Amino acid sequence: MRKLFPLLLFALCALSTPAWSTSPGDIRQSGFVYCVNGVINTFNPQLASGGLVVDTLAAQLYDRLLDVDPYTYRLIPELAESWEVLDDGATYRFYLRQHVSFQHTPWFAPTRPMNADDVVFSFARVFDRHHPWHNVNGGNYPYFDSLQFVDAVQSVKKLNNSTVEIRLNSPDASFLWHLATHYAPVLSQEYAERLSKVDHPELIDRQPVGTGPFMLNDYRGGQYIRLQRHDGYWKGQPRMSQVVVDISAGGTGRLSKLLTGECDVLAYPAASQLSILRDDPRLRLTLRPGMNIAYLAFNTRKAPLDNPKVRQALALAINNERLMTSIYYGTAETAASILPRASWAYDTEAHVTSYNPAQARQELEALGVNDLNLTLWVPSASQAWNPSPLKTAELIQADLAQIGVTVTIVQVEGRFQEARLMEMNHDLTLTGWATDSNDPDSFFRPLLSCAAIASQTNYAHWCHPGFDGLLHKALLSQQLAKRIDYYDQAQMLLAQELPVLPLAYSLRLQAYRYDIKGLVLSPFGNASFAGVYRDDGEEKSR
């Protein structure tokens, strides 16, 4: 039991909120401070449905079998040096990289490098309902549950120490792309076995051990996460010895910290702050197209929103152009489809819903819908796809008031929102989605498939067998032209049914101090911080 004490101590410390143990001045000598809004419910992205752990922390703590090149959007090797696609896309064989070290933390000291046992453990835990670790910490894997991979994966097998084979029940042309997302990290089987021996398996998702460039050093709920350099990182030693992820301040507070130098990097600044950021010579600003979508989801299980004609009428009342000028300030494009324009399956014939409040009122009257009162759920924190969700909700509220619809705004966040969604008592949800995959399946199935209702990522609670059928046909084909045709049909069906109203494709924004170099902003989410350094005339981090 003496070995268990550090584990329990760490878990208890995570619940407290003491002051920083290291001053920002000290951090500047060896690292940098990354300021972002977010809530931590787990450190394992397998269990997350998005947010800080997926978008920022996963790339630091873990590696995946495959990665996506942020410039070419192509699949590239990571922990798998190479791979084979067999049986027309029903079998995938991965040849693993050798001599990859797991992180040596206060709670775990690895005795061997990463091998096939770790890969099998990581994916069998998610895909096999009977795996002893499947139900640890709830047994919910939102991203992969929405894709029904538990039913799709036939087996995950070790062929030898450096080869893993995954067999599916039927071909799936999107499978590799899903394994390249941050939802698919490789965990340590040896660490899991150690936790089993001390009867604390739940700590695998709270005290992470991965192969990534940084490891968890300290966490203070609502304040910060301190990451320490993984000196044995297989790509080479990260250039800075620590990173502090500051989660203590809201939008204006984070901007103030950037201006005073308390923050070195500001993730997702509000578009309204761009003029301040551009005019300050001490700062730099990066903008890139993002694989994301902001949208309004209608609860299609509740009357009268279960009627597509009502949803179409409400959509006519929303002034999307005003959202572009008041929320995004030129940093987004009005969305015409749930797929971003950068996707290879984007329907170029798709049209943005027109703004016509007079027609909206007429259509609602013709449908006999009067004195409509709706609740609109909105996240309180800024998102990669929406820098000001509450202000967006207020504009939508004002638009619908013009046609006689009363909207009550309810601010929700994190696990609370996910739990309440299952009660299905909301009417509208202002939300969005971002993924580190260029495959359209990474948008369609998690957001709108029947299975995604149970996984709590289908906020519209919309289930259409015809839509699911089109997605399934697209997965069975390895021919791009056929897949595009099926996805075109799927987008046409969505335009008719309108379970969600696409609002915006947002640019990814990042502001940082002038001396920070090597920061890569990816369309799919934050890249590794391993190459980040401070250029002040002398590199002091080594």
From CA 296, how far away is CA 459, in angstroms rounded? 9
pLDDT value at residue 46: 96
| pLDDT confidence of residue 310 | 98
Q: 5 versus 169: which is more confidently predicted?
A: 169
Contacts for 89 with CB less than 8 Å, ≥ 6 apart:
168, 171, 172, 173, 175, 476, 478
Range of weakest confidence among 10-24, 106-120, 213-227, 430-444: 10-24
Handedness of CA 197, 202, 207, 210 (dihedral sign): positive
Weakest-pLDDT range from 130-144, 266-280, 281-295, 523-537: 523-537
Count of alpha carbons within 13 angstroms of residue 251, beta-carbon side = 17
pLDDT for 542: 44
Q: pLDDT > 90: what percent of the chain?
A: 70
Q: What integer is the mean pLDDT of 273-299?
A: 90
Structure confidence by residue, pLDDT tens digits, 488-514: 999 999 999 999 999 999 888 889 999
pLDDT for 28 = 75
Q: Is the pLDDT of residue 19 over 50?
A: no
| 242-246 and 31-35 strand pairing | parallel
DSSP letters spanning 35-65: E-----S-S-GGG-SSSHIIIIIHHHH---S
State the average pLDDT over residues 192-210.
Answer: 97
124 has pLDDT over 60: yes
d(CA 378, CA 408): 11
Statement: residue 398 has pLDDT above 60? yes
Q: What is the pLDDT of residue 17?
A: 34
Range name among 10-14, 84-88, 516-520 with the lowest pLDDT average: 10-14
What is residue 250's three-state secondary structure?
coil
> Tens of pLDDT along 444-476?
999 999 989 988 889 999 999 999 999 999 999
Say if residue 15's pLDDT is above 50.
no
Give the pLDDT band of residue 2 (cuts 50, 70, 90): very low
pLDDT tens profile 209-264: 999 999 999 999 989 999 999 999 999 999 999 999 999 877 678 899 999 999 99
pLDDT tier, 422 (very low <50, low <70, confident <90, very high otherwise)? low
Burial class for 446, CB neighbours closer than 10 Å (0-12, 13-18, 19+): buried
Q: Is the pLDDT of residue 16 over 80?
A: no
Mean pLDDT of 134-157: 93
- Confidence at residue 496, expressed as pLDDT on a 0 to 100 scale: 95
Alpha-carbon gap, residue 181 to 306, rounded angstroms: 33
- Say what the pTM is: 0.81
| Alpha carbons 278 and 518: distance in angstroms, whole number | 19
pLDDT reading at 311 higher than 60: yes
What distances in angstroms separate CA 346 from CA 349, 483, 491, one per listed residue? 9, 11, 9
Instruction: Categorize the per-residue pLDDT at 425 as very low, low, confident or very high, splitting at 50, 70 and 90.
Output: confident
DSSP assignment of 430-476 = EEEEE-S--STHHHHHHHHSSHHHHTT--TT----HHHHHHHHHHHH
Residue 23 has pLDDT above 60, yes or no: no
pLDDT at 459: 93
Mean pLDDT of the chain: 89
516 has a pLDDT exceeding 70 = yes
Q: What is the pLDDT of residues 378-390, one digit of tens each?
A: 988 778 788 889 9
Q: What per-residue confidence (pLDDT) applies to 417?
A: 52
Taken in order of first residue, the domains within the chain and their CATH numbers are: 2-18+29-248 (3.90.76.10), 292-506 (3.10.105.10)
The whole-number average pLDDT for the span 354-372 is 96
> pLDDT, tens digit, for every residue of 148-173?
899 999 999 999 999 999 999 999 99
The pLDDT of residue 69 is above 80 = yes
